[in-house]
Structures are given as C-alpha cells and as structure tokens.
Amino acid sequence: MDTEPRSTVAAGHRLRRQRRWKLIVTLSYSVTVHGWSASRRSGEPAGSRSRRQRVVVALQVAAVPAAVLLVLHGVDLRQAGAALATADPYWLIAAILLSFASVATAAVTWGMLIHATNARVRWSWIVAWHARTVLAGQVIPTGTAGDAVRVMGARRVVGIGPAIAGTLISRLSGGLGLVIWGVTGTVLLRDALGRNTIVIAACLAGALISVAGLLLTADLWVDWLAHRRSTWAQRLHRWLRPIAATLGSYRSNPSLLLQSLLLGLAS
C-alpha cells in the first residue's frame, strides 16, 4: 500500500492543531461573554458578583494572548521574515499606514452610527470593540466572527437593535464603496476587460442598492408583520422591531448616511 507523503501528513496535523486552537479561543470568548452577562444579573450576592468579575477578567486576559498566538501559529514566520527583508521600506510603511487608515475609517463609520442612537457611548469603548473585531476576524478568518464580537460588545450599552443595525449599515457602506470603485474601474478599463464586466459590475451594484433599500425601509415592512395573526409572524416582529426601528431612524438622517458612504469609499 502506498503511504501518504510526509508533507501531506504534516499539513493534516497542522490543520488539526489550528482547529483545536480556534475552538479553544472561541470557547474562551464565549465563556467570557456568558460570565460577564451572568455577573450583571440582579439578585446575586455582591461577593458572588465580584468573584464572577474576577473570573471574567482572568478569562479576558488569557483569551487575548491565546488569540495572538493562534494568529502567529497560522503564519509562516520564516517566509514572512524573508519577505520583509526584501521589501522596499517606503512601500512597506505606506502599506501599513493605509491599512491602519482603512481600519480606523471603518471604526469611525461604525462609531458614528452607534453615536446616532446613543451619544453617551465613549469613543474609547468603540475603539476597544472594533479592535476586538479585527482580532476576531484574524483568528476566525471571516467577517461574521468580527461582527459577532462587535455586536456582543455594543449590545451591553446601546441594546441589540442599534448594535445590529449599526453593524449592518457600516458593512453596507463599505460594500457600496467597493462597488463604486469596482464599477469605476470596469468603465475605465472596459477595452481591456471587455464590456461584459461592466454588465456584471452593474448587476452587483444594483443588487447591493436593492439590499440597501430593503434595510433602510425595514421598519415599514416589519410593521406589516404586526398585523399578521400567525404566531411566527408575531415572534418575528418582536425580534426584528428594535433593529428595524433603528434602521428607520437612519433613513430619516440622510446626512449621516452620506457621511457613512463617503467613509466607506475612503476605507
């Protein structure tokens, strides 16, 4: 019988180790959130709350280094070091600054949307929530993981409706910014890329604009559910009502939406 190449076996072991680390970090964060929520419940003795808070802080302190180690574990440090050694320092500095500016612009966009619903939210909290979002997106390479972390952080202060609605509109602003740049690029390069790319880009733009319209008018069609007699419609209405109400408040603030779109273009 043929045996598997050593490289394939090593890759399999490495993948299993990465999955195990991801599971540990995800569970650590889940336990942290659950412990924090439990510590806020009324009716618990003060000593019990203080013990829970100490456990939560310990978990938070342990989860962040674990996440950083997991990110580094998935990077080939030798290859990264060789690439950095041959990189042009000016281009490298420019890339770092642009990356930082993009992340900061996304944080400002989301912070503006949160502030529109609760002006008492501190910007230091927004920066901390967004930093955790970036870290979570690196540990679990998907935007959904980062958004979940951001929503869980914001819902404690502003509520679940503004937390989800602000995240949706900030994502929408970034997506529209990408689509606008993409359509502009396909129009300018239509001779090289072909005219079919313009049609594809226009379809994507139309689909995203349709999604934007549905989100910003969510309060109108969610209210329709309140008049349905079925149990599932009533439950869906109760769940969507706080999110839709916040989205409706954004619709009545066009200057905020325009600023978000401009920041999405810049990001």
**pLDDT per residue as tens digits for the range 223-256:** 777 777 777 877 877 888 888 888 888 888 888 8
Amino acid at 92: L
The whole-number average pLDDT for the span 208-236 is 82
Cα angle: 167, vertex 169, 170; to 5 degrees: 65
User: Which DSSP category does 76 fall into?
Assistant: -
Percent of the chain with pLDDT over 90: 0
Q: What is the pLDDT of residue 150?
A: 82
Confidence (pLDDT) at 20: 52
Q: Pick the range with the lowest mean pLDDT from 33-37, 188-192, 236-240.
A: 33-37
pLDDT digits (tens, 9 = 90+) for 98-124: 888 888 888 888 888 888 888 788 888
Prediction pTM value: 0.65
Binned at pLDDT 50, 70 and 90, residue 82 comes out as: confident
Least confident piece of the model among 152-156, 157-161, 182-186: 152-156
Which of 262, 209, 248 lies closest to 116, judged by CA?
Answer: 248
The sign one gets for the Cα dihedral 109, 115, 120, 125 is: negative
Contact between 134 and 154 (Cβ < 8 Å): no
- Do residues 113 and 169 lie in contact, with contact meaning Cβ atoms separated by under 8 Å? yes
